[in-house]
């Protein structure tokens, strides 16, 4: 998955950029307080992208909020 597509997806959840680290940018979901690093590679492995999306978009550990990157909402 392209990094820009992942960034658009997590920002679509309402997540906001916090800071840039050495090799990662950090994003936070203001509703849940969860923060996750996003690597600065042009391509991010699909399983890693899904994990980042799930951690930032999943408020209670059960259902998902929105559609996963690369998928259309139901």
Percent of the chain, pLDDT > 90? 73
- What domains are defined for the chain? 3-57 (3.30.920)
User: Cα(71)–Cα(26) distance, rounded to whole angstroms?
Assistant: 23
Question: For residue 54, what are its two tokens?
Answer: 């799930």
Q: Say what the pTM is.
A: 0.75
Q: What is the pLDDT of residue 57?
A: 87
Q: Rounded to the nearest 5 degrees, what angle is found at the Cα of 27, between the Cα atoms of 22 and 29?
A: 160
Q: How does pLDDT run across 26-58, given as a tens digit for each residue? A: 999 999 999 999 999 999 999 999 999 999 987
- Phi-psi category of residue 11: left, alpha or beta, with phi > 0 → left and psi -120 to 50 → alpha: alpha
């Amino acid at each position: 998955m392209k990094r820009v597509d992942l960034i658009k997806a997590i920002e679509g959840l309402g997540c906001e950029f916090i800071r840039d680290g050495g090799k990662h940018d950090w994003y936070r979901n203001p509703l849940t307080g969860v923060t996750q690093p996003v690597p600065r590679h042009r391509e991010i492995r699909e399983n890693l992208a899904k994990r980042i999306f799930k951690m930032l978009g999943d408020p209670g550990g059960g259902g998902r909020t929105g559609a996963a990157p690369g998928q259309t909402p139901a």
